[in-house]
């Protein structure tokens, strides 16, 4: 984002146009400035001209009207400055912009997913899991829905069929490969990883990943080999690729 100050000449020109609007009667004369800009910009009850309240009420939605009415109009002696609303000092910083992008802009663009674990938390769990960098990257791709499963390839018009080639039952989504395909179910059943509280792996990839990556907090250390979870996911994916290619 770039900010720039208006040149002084432009500011003077704007003030000049406003003055002409108030005081100029014809093209040839400047007109008489009956009141200074300081006084002119005061509220009506203090002798200024205030905003055109009627016009504001007609044009602007009610939720924004009160914001406009709160604006204090400065005179030529007051300086306009740029302020950034997301830091205590009101100065822009890249860190605060990143926060705005993730928490304000991003949320406005994406519909909120209900009854799903937080994506941020899932990413944190993935990066903190006791696995190698390649598995961390693989987990990131899972959460970001960036693996080349048949469904994703079909969406990109790179495959005609979205079916799972191994079982030929259902669309090959990431959740299918890692949790719902019969082979995946068998692997999880034989592993030391407990099934989720409901007894079955969910239809939601994110709930299942949350279950696998959050085992350490849910179960006593001695009851479960939580470290194996990410590696089982990785091996299921590698096995799928070996089968297809
Ligand atoms: Zn399958």
Q: What Cα–Cα distance (Å) separates residue 37 from each residue in 30, 48, 160, 245?
A: 15, 9, 70, 77
How many other CB atoms sit within 10 Å of the CB of residue 41? 20
The Cα 180–Cα 44 span in angstroms is 70
Q: Is residue 241 within 8 Å of residue 145, measured between CB atoms?
A: no
User: How many whole angstroms from 197 Cα to the centroid of ligand 1?
Assistant: 24
Q: Is 163 helix (H, G, I), strand (E, B) or coil?
A: strand
User: How many whole angstroms from 164 Cα to the centroid of ligand 1?
Assistant: 5
**Of residues 49 and 197, more confidently modeled:** 197
* Boundaries of every domain in the chain: 1-24+35-79, 82-110, 119-244
User: How many whole angstroms from 51 Cα to the centroid of ligand 1?
Assistant: 67
User: How many whole angstroms from 239 Cα to the centroid of ligand 1?
Assistant: 12
Angle at 169 between CA 165 and CA 170, to 5 degrees: 95
User: How many whole angstroms from 184 Cα to the centroid of ligand 1?
Assistant: 8
Is the CA virtual torsion 230, 236, 241, 242 positive or negative? positive
Burial of 183: CB neighbours in 10 Å, binned 0-12, 13-18, 19+: middle
User: How many whole angstroms from 118 Cα to the centroid of ligand 1?
Assistant: 27
User: How many whole angstroms from 199 Cα to the centroid of ligand 1?
Assistant: 20
State if pTM tops 0.85: no
Mean of the pLDDT values across residues 211-222?
Answer: 80
pLDDT for 50 beyond 60: no
Q: Is residue 193 within 8 Å of residue 227, measured between CB atoms?
A: no
User: How many whole angstroms from 233 Cα to the centroid of ligand 1?
Assistant: 15
Q: What is the pLDDT of residues 142-199, one digit of tens each?
A: 998 889 999 998 888 888 888 999 998 889 999 999 999 999 999 998 988 887 766 6
How many other CB atoms sit within 10 Å of the CB of residue 70? 7
Q: What Cα–Cα distance (Å) separates residue 230 from each residue in 88, 174, 216, 219?
A: 41, 14, 12, 16
Count CA within 13 A, CB hemisphere, residue 7.
3
pLDDT for 91 beyond 80: yes
């Amino acid at each position: 984002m770039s900010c720039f100050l208006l040149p002084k000449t432009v500011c003077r020109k704007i003030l000049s146009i406003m003055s002409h609007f108030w005081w100029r009667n014809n093209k040839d004369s400047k007109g008489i400035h009956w009141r200074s800009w300081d006084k002119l910009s005061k509220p009506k009850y203090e002798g200024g001209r205030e905003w055109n309240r009627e016009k504001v009420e007609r044009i602007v939605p009610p939720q924004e009207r009160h914001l406009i009415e709160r604006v204090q109009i400065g005179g030529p002696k007051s300086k306009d400055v740029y302020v950034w609303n997301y830091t205590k000092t009101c100065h822009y910083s890249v860190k605060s912009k990143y926060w705005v992008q993730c928490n304000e802009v991003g949320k406005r663009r994406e519909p909120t997913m209900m009854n799903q674990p937080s994506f941020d938390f899932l990413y944190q769990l993935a990066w903190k899991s006791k696995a190698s960098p390649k598995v961390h990257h693989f987990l990131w791709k899972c959460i970001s829905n960036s693996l080349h499963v048949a469904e994703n390839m079909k969406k990109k018009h790179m495959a005609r069929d979205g079916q799972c080639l191994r079982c030929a039952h259902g669309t090959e989504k990431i959740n299918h490969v890692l949790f719902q395909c019969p082979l995946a179910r068998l692997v999880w059943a034989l592993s030391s990883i407990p099934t989720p509280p409901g007894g079955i792996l969910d239809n939601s990839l994110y709930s299942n990943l949350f279950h696998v990556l959050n085992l350490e907090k849910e179960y006593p250390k001695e009851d479960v080999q939580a470290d194996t979870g990410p590696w089982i996911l990785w091996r299921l994916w590698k096995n799928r690729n070996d089968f297809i290619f």
